[in-house]
Structure 1
Amino acid sequence: MTRRNVNKSVVIGTIGSDAHIIGGWVLKHAYEDAGFKVAFLGAMVSHQEFINAAIEVDADAILVSSSYGMGLIDCEGMRDKCIEAGLGDIILYVGGTIAAPLELERNWPEVERRFREMGFNRAFKNTCTAKESVTTLKADLGVE
């Protein structure tokens, strides 16, 4: 795949006590292949670590992964902390198994609404592909 420089940076990591990194690792490579500069933080990343990395690399977006079903709890307050750090306009995405699996299956609109109320620009189901995520962020950032 040809890499194009889109002059945009993203921070990717798995939040909270979640040790799953495969989804984040896949996203890292997909975003790099699409021309983004990627700061990949790995697993068990705190809000502050996401924010510090976003400041350090002048990120345009923070992509939070969660695969153990506790994303609704782990992501609470993330937007507020971004605002406090001067990153109020940064794009925040969350994806993976971000809520208990049955809740995702039965009530996705409610799960998505709750993340939007927390200040996330988008919440993605665990069925979202890396390609779909890249396409969506490019559209949100106005890059081709």
Structure 2
Amino acid sequence: MTQSDRKIRVLIAKPGLDGHDHGAKVVVRALVDAGFEVIYTGLRQTPEMVCAAAVEEGVDVIGLSSMAGSHLPFCRKLAVLMKDNGLKDKLWIIGGNLPAPDHAVLREIGLHGIFPTGAKFADIASFIRENVR
């Protein structure tokens, strides 16, 4: 199987104490239906756990689903871990309850794609396909 034949591998994680995972599971299903290989880590992930899973699974995309408002400190910590573990070349996206004023800060931290509540699944899938290195 060549690199071009291989499915894009996407990790979806729920940061911190966020206990709302219905949306994340719907996104996981939509990405699977769109042809991606998706690894869902489940609830209550620490930055260390997300980083370790991304390394272990050899993913192309690290996706977070955040509904609890802790996305900025979580992403700041994860950015350091990604750099330290050779993951800076991975596509990094986030979706969920993300106030508009936080979008610029998330981009400064290093996130490539920001998908607030209500984003279309097709837009997420297209963004991934167009931006995976």
Deviation at 1:130, TM superposition (A): 2.2
Q: Is residue 60 from structure 1 mapped to residue 60 from structure 2 by the alignment?
A: yes
Match of 1:135 among 118, 126, 130: 126
Which consecutive residues of structure 2, in runs of 5 or more, have no partner in the other structure?
Answer: none
Q: Is residue 21 from structure 1 mapped to residue 24 from structure 2 by the alignment?
A: no
Indicate the RMSD between aligned Cα atoms, in angstroms: 1.6
Q: Distance in 1 between matches of 2:9 and 2:18?
A: 23
CA contact (8 A) 1:9 1:36 kept: yes
Q: Distance in 2 between matches of 1:44 and 1:94?
A: 16
Match of 2:103 among 112, 116, 128: 112
What whole-Å deviation, never above 9, does each CA across 1:45-84 have from its counterpart, x for those lacking one?
Answer: 1111111111122100110011122212322221221010
- Indicate the residue corresponding to 2:113 in structure 1: 122
Q: Distance in 2 between matches of 1:23 and 1:84?
A: 30
**What's the secondary structure of 2:95's corresponding residue?**
strand
Using the aligned pairs only, state the percent identity.
26
**What's the secondary structure of 1:48's corresponding residue?**
helix
Number of residue pairs matched by the alignment:
129
- 1:119 is aligned with what amino acid? G
Q: Distance in 2 between matches of 1:6 and 1:130?
A: 21
- 1:53 is aligned with what amino acid? A
- Indicate the residue corresponding to 1:101 in structure 2: none
- Indicate the residue corresponding to 2:75 in structure 1: 75
Which consecutive residues of structure 1, in runs of 5 or more, have no partner in the other structure?
Answer: 99-103
Deviation at 1:6, TM superposition (A): 5.2
**What's the secondary structure of 1:35's corresponding residue?**
coil
Give 4+ residue runs of structure 1 displaced > 2 Å after superposition: none
Q: Distance in 2 between matches of 1:130 and 1:50?
A: 22
TM-score normalised per structure 1: 0.82
Q: Distance in 2 between matches of 1:122 and 1:91?
A: 8
**Higher normalized contact order (CA 8 Å, seq sep 6+, divided by chain length):** 2
